[in-house]
Amino acid sequence: MNRLLIVGAGGFGREMFAAAREAVGYGTAFEIKGFLDAKPTALDGFAGYPPIVGSPDTYEPGRYDVFVTALGSIASRRRCVEALEAKGAKFISIVHRTATIGQNVLIGEGSFIAPHVSITADVCVGRHVSVFHSSSIGHDSELRDFSHVYAQCSIGGGVKVGEGAVVYPGSVVVPRRGIGAGAVVGAGSVVFVDVDPGVTVIGNPAAPMK
């Protein structure tokens, strides 16, 4: 059986641990081995978690090791993925068993689909994407590599979320809009028009921050 290592032992990592124990394939396709974190004391004061077995920078993947990242920083996530993949690491997706996954949905390796997420039909979720609790992704949407959609967001049909873009909690993106690569949608925003790459927008209607 594969042995899962969670990269990052902070708050996201602890959430990932809970979700992984209730994910599709837990106990049959994989078990949890522990965490990787550059800070060996990251779990001090938190009971009931498996150990930190090493740092992502120095860990050498074993034969049955598989990985998932739990890092809020896109840059840190990308760096750790690249370093581990250079050593031959294999990443798996974690899909919580309460998530609703529709017809023709593709989910790339290393991605995380949290509890109570709804992904409807004909959606493409790229590699190392995170979709957090109770968010919905409409038909024909695309979430490109390393993008994050945080909790309780509503992403309309036909929306394109670019590589490394972040949509913060409680936001709404109306159908057929684009969120450019590296763009940021602030918490509680409502996006009615396309967001250019690298731009941060906030508000209702969402507008670039000044």
Can you tell me the distance from the alpha carbon of 176 to that of 160, in angstroms, rounded to the nearest whole number?
7
- Which contiguous run of DSSP H or E holds residue 82? helix 74-85
pLDDT at 83: 95
Predicted local distance difference test score (pLDDT) of residue 82: 96
pLDDT at position 49: 98
pLDDT of residue 68: 98
Q: Give average pLDDT by consecutive 10-residue segment, the chain, 210 residues.
A: 98 98 97 97 97 96 97 96 97 98 98 98 98 98 98 98 98 98 98 98 95
Task: Catalogue all structural domains in the chain, each as residue range(s) with its CATH number.
Answer: 2-92 (3.40.50.20), 95-205 (2.160.10.10)
- 3-class SS at 84? helix
Output the pLDDT for position 210. 76
d(CA 36, CA 31): 15
